[in-house]
């Protein structure tokens, strides 16, 4: 009776070239051996089952080979190589630190370090799972590692590099082993199957490779398990049965149904999956993985991220071409959301059903978003930009202020018919306008009057004069509505610099209205507000005259009583209230130019 040897051992690589999936790393090691540049300590890091120990053994054999080949590999025939291959070489010592991590264990190993090799040149010490050594063992080992004899080479292997002390790391050459790719594992499994005379379906090996999650040792043991279950004929169907893997056909089918918005068929499909003993959580995470695979299949750049054989890849590409990226993003997000809520919900099936329905509908949304012309919003301020150019009144379409709080009764009602402009002889006016400090009201332009000495605070008056645009030298007298007026008033407020946001905010709460002639009445709550507004009066007036094409506009502040309880006061308004009752505080505020921040 022949002894059964597990495939992982039987097909363990014996040369660097036969190591699967770590080519750049094995090439580096071969070159180091060929050029004789050997370090005293190596650290092999990486996930389990990717070839760390295998490479360490090949390395040990190769550096001791008596007649190495030109390509840097061991000859596998010399006395040393044969001793290695038969497991009777004295030049290799292995310690599994996971189970032998005491200081005694490491001391036993270190005693071996001091004895030079009988045959060959090097003694190689492999310490697996080196991060598991106890602190005392670590310290004992560190002493030897600091001053190793010339014939000793240490190869430390770990799955958890971050647990290795810096004192060890700094003394080692570090090699990072990659997780193996599905295609590499499949190729290796194919070689083994052929050597063993086992028939197989390539996609069945793909399922095994994915199940192994990047570890060759796991892949080989799953392969052994499946081989005995499938009795020498590894089919896709037998593999998914044996490994309890949900057939990826289901995911392709579910995606097709989602794209067709066929919700009844989706719910039936889900029922079929659950009746086969699969969990809802298993299905939804598999579906998310499927969407992810579709997403990476869409772009040549991300295609390498798809871990699939070429035949499978073609199937992914075909379905991916029928999915919009926006659909895939949303579907992924919904699956992720479902996954998060899945643990806590008591009705898991319902949650998954709702998620499927939502995904089926999000394709609707994205289609609509993709094709429906975006709603054309009328730009609100277009005609203002063109205000410099004279335009007929009729073209000034009334635009409602965008802030709902600003809509006023008069803005909603149609404006009274504009008075027909009476033709007047064109007359030149100076750009100087009177500043009505004491009288509050502003006289119309043209009624020339010597400009009084300004008593405005110098800083704000400077601001105001800067903000005031140049007024046209000819008289304009175009009609405008209260809506136009409100709009321009608020536009001015909005354009005030950041330092003037108090004034801006105050202006936003005021709705001016046209009274007799071209007088614009500005209702304010009290004299205090009038004083605050005064420095801006000239600039506001200039803006209104220019923007509304009417140089006969005048401003009149009107103190009106407001219903005391109808209003929520802001901090600023509260201050104004206080100042109204205690003018001394107002003095304080204006003297020191105090502001809220």
Tell whether residue 589 is a contact of Zn ion (CB under 5 A). Answer: no
Cα–Cα distance for residue pair 134/116, rounded to 1 Å: 27
CB of 79 to Zn ion, least distance (A): 8
| Residue span binding Zn ion (CB under 5 A) among the ranges 67-75, 125-133, 164-172, 456-464 | 67-75
Q: Which lies closer to Zn ion via its Cβ, residue 81 or residue 352?
A: 81
CB of 285 to Zn ion, least distance (A): 49
Please answer whether residues 487 and 561 qualify as being in contact, where contact means their C-beta atoms are separated by less than 8 angstroms.
no
CB of 68 to Zn ion, least distance (A): 7
Give the DSSP letter string of 22-73: -HHHHHHHHHHHHTT---SEEEEE-STTSSHHHHHHHHHHHHH-SS--TTS-
CB 303: neighbour CB atoms within 10 A?
15
18, 87, 174, 440, 493 from 157: Cα distances, Å = 20, 20, 10, 89, 71
How many residues sit in the footprint of Zn ion (CB under 5 A)? 5
| Residue span binding Zn ion (CB under 5 A) among the ranges 27-35, 59-67, 423-431, 584-592 | 59-67
CB of 105 to Zn ion, least distance (A): 31
Q: Which lies closer to Zn ion via its Cβ, residue 81 or residue 575?
A: 81
Q: Which lies closer to Zn ion via its Cβ, residue 91 or residue 546?
A: 91
CB of 153 to Zn ion, least distance (A): 17
| Residue span binding Zn ion (CB under 5 A) among the ranges 63-71, 114-122, 187-195, 470-478 | 63-71
Tell whether residue 78 is a contact of Zn ion (CB under 5 A). Answer: yes
The three-state DSSP-derived secondary structure of 258-315 is HHCCCHHHHHHHHHHHHHCCCCHHHHHHHHHHHHHHHHHHCCCCCHHHCCCCHHHHHH
| 219 Cβ neighbours under 8 A, 6+ residues apart | 49, 180, 185, 188, 189, 208, 209, 211, 212
Closest-CA residue to 529 (of 467, 566, 572, 567): 572
What are the tokens at 407?
């809509």
Interaction residues for Zn ion, span 245-284 (CB under 5 A): none
What are the tokens at 89?
């070489």
92, 93, 421 from 88: Cα distances, Å = 9, 11, 115
Q: Which lies closer to Zn ion via its Cβ, residue 75 or residue 183?
A: 75
Interaction residues for Zn ion, span 342-361 (CB under 5 A): none
Tell whether residue 33 is a contact of Zn ion (CB under 5 A). Answer: no
Tell whether residue 142 is a contact of Zn ion (CB under 5 A). Answer: no
Angle at 129 between CA 126 and CA 131, to 5 degrees: 115
| Residue span binding Zn ion (CB under 5 A) among the ranges 60-68, 296-304, 374-382, 572-580 | 60-68
Q: Which lies closer to Zn ion via its Cβ, residue 75 or residue 530?
A: 75
| Residue span binding Zn ion (CB under 5 A) among the ranges 72-80, 88-96, 253-261, 366-374 | 72-80
Q: Which lies closer to Zn ion via its Cβ, residue 75 or residue 393?
A: 75
Please answer whether residues 319 and 248 qualify as being in contact, where contact means their C-beta atoms are separated by less than 8 angstroms.
no
Tell whether residue 81 is a contact of Zn ion (CB under 5 A). Answer: yes
Please answer whether residues 123 and 152 qualify as being in contact, where contact means their C-beta atoms are separated by less than 8 angstroms.
yes
CB of 69 to Zn ion, least distance (A): 8
Q: Which lies closer to Zn ion via its Cβ, residue 81 or residue 287?
A: 81
**Strand pairing report for 513-514 and 519-524:** antiparallel
CB of 134 to Zn ion, least distance (A): 37
CB of 61 to Zn ion, least distance (A): 7
How far is C-alpha 39 from the chain's CA centre? Answer: 42
| Residue span binding Zn ion (CB under 5 A) among the ranges 71-79, 126-134, 216-224, 488-496 | 71-79
Cα–Cα distance for residue pair 202/2, rounded to 1 Å: 29
Handedness of CA 241, 245, 251, 252 (dihedral sign): negative
Taking phi over 0 as left and psi of -120 to 50 as alpha, with beta for the rest, 277 belongs to: left
Tell whether residue 65 is a contact of Zn ion (CB under 5 A). Answer: yes
Q: Which lies closer to Zn ion via its Cβ, residue 57 or residue 348?
A: 57
| Residue span binding Zn ion (CB under 5 A) among the ranges 74-82, 195-203, 226-234, 485-493 | 74-82
What are the tokens at 99?
């189970």
| 73 Cβ neighbours under 8 A, 6+ residues apart | 15, 16, 17, 30, 62
Q: Which lies closer to Zn ion via its Cβ, residue 75 or residue 274?
A: 75
CB of 85 to Zn ion, least distance (A): 9
CB of 36 to Zn ion, least distance (A): 16
Interaction residues for Zn ion, span 144-163 (CB under 5 A): none
HSE-up of residue 439 (Cα within 13 Å, Cβ side)? 9
CB of 66 to Zn ion, least distance (A): 5
Taking phi over 0 as left and psi of -120 to 50 as alpha, with beta for the rest, 389 belongs to: beta
Please answer whether residues 525 and 562 qualify as being in contact, where contact means their C-beta atoms are separated by less than 8 angstroms.
yes
The three-state DSSP-derived secondary structure of 377-414 is CCCCCHHHHHHHCCCCHHHCCCCCCCCHHHCCHHHHCC
Q: Which lies closer to Zn ion via its Cβ, residue 65 or residue 273?
A: 65
Q: Which lies closer to Zn ion via its Cβ, residue 80 or residue 101?
A: 80
| Residue span binding Zn ion (CB under 5 A) among the ranges 65-73, 177-185, 277-285, 376-384 | 65-73
Residue where the block lists tokens 């401003």: 555
Q: Which lies closer to Zn ion via its Cβ, residue 63 or residue 553?
A: 63
Q: Which lies closer to Zn ion via its Cβ, residue 92 or residue 445?
A: 92
| Residue span binding Zn ion (CB under 5 A) among the ranges 35-43, 78-86, 288-296, 437-445 | 78-86
Tell whether residue 75 is a contact of Zn ion (CB under 5 A). Answer: yes
CB of 12 to Zn ion, least distance (A): 17
Site for Zn ion, rule CB under 5 A: 65, 74-75, 78, 81
């Amino acid at each position: 009776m022949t002894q059964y040897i597990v495939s992982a051992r039987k097909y363990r690589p014996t040369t660097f070239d036969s190591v699967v999936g770590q080519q750049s790393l094995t090439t580096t090691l071969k070159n180091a051996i060929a050029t004789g540049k050997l370090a005293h300590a190596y650290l092999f890091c990486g996930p389990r089952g990717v070839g760390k120990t295998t490479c360490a053994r090949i390395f040990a054999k190769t550096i001791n080979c008596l007649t190495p080949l030109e390509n840097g590999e061991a000859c596998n025939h010399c006395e040393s190589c044969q001793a290695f291959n038969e497991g009777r070489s004295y030049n290799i010592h292995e310690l599994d630190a996971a189970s032998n991590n005491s200081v005694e264990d490491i001391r036993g190993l270190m005693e071996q370090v001091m004895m030079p090799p009988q045959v060959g040149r090097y003694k190689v010490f492999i310490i697996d799972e080196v991060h598991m050594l106890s602190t005392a063992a670590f310290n004992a080992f560190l002493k030897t590692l600091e001053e190793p004899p010339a014939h000793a080479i240490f190869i430390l292997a770990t799955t958890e590099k971050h647990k290795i002390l810096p004192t060890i790391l700094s003394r080692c050459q570090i090699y990072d082993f990659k997780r193996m790719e599905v295609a590499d594992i499949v190729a290796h499994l194919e070689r083994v199957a052929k050597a063993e005379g086992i028939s197989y379906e390539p996609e069945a090996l793909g399922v095994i490779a994915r199940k192994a999650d990047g570890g060759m040792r796991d892949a080989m043991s799953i392969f052994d398990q499946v081989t005995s279950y499938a009795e020498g004929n590894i089919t896709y169907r037998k593999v998914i049965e044996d490994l309890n893997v949900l057939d990826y056909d289901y995911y392709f089918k579910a995606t097709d149904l989602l794209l067709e918005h066929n919700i009844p068929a989706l719910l039936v499909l889900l029922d079929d999956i659950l009746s086969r003993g699969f969990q809802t959580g298993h299905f939804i995470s598999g579906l998310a993985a499927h969407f992810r695979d579709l997403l990476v299949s869409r772009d040549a750049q991300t295609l390498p991220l798809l871990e699939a054989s070429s035949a499978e890849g073609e199937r992914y590409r075909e379905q991916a071409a029928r999915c919009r990226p926006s659909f895939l993003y949303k579907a992924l997000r919904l699956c992720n959301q479902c996954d998060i809520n899945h643990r806590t919900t008591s009705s898991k099936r319902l949650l998954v059903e709702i998620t499927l329905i939502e995904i089926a509908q999000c394709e609707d949304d994205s289609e609509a978003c993709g094709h429906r012309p975006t709603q054309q919003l009328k730009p609100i301020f277009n005609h203002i930009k063109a205000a410099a150019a004279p335009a007929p009144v009729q073209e000034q379409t009334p635009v409602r202020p965008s802030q709902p709080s600003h809509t006023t009764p008069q803005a909603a009602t149609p404006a009274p018919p504009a008075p027909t402009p009476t033709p007047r002889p064109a007359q030149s006016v100076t750009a100087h306008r009177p500043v009505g400090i004491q009288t509050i009201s502003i006289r119309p332009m043209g009624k020339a009057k010597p400009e009084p000495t300004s008593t405005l605070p110098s800083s704000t008056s400077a601001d105001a004069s800067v903000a005031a645009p140049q007024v046209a030298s000819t008289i304009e007298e175009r009609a405008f509505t209260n809506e136009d007026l409100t709009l321009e008033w608020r536009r001015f407020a909005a354009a005030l610099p950041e330092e003037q946001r108090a004034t801006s905010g105050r202006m936003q709460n005021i709705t001016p209205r046209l009274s007799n002639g071209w007088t614009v009445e500005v209702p304010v709550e009290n004299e205090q507000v009038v004083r605050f507004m005064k420095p801006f009066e000239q600039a506001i007036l200039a803006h209104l005259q220019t923007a509304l094409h009417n140089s006969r506009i005048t401003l009149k502040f009107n103190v009106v009583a407001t219903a005391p309880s109808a209003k929520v006061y802001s901090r600023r308004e509260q201050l104004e209230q206080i100042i109204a009752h205690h003018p001394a505080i107002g003095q304080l505020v204006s003297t020191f130019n105090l502001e809220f921040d």
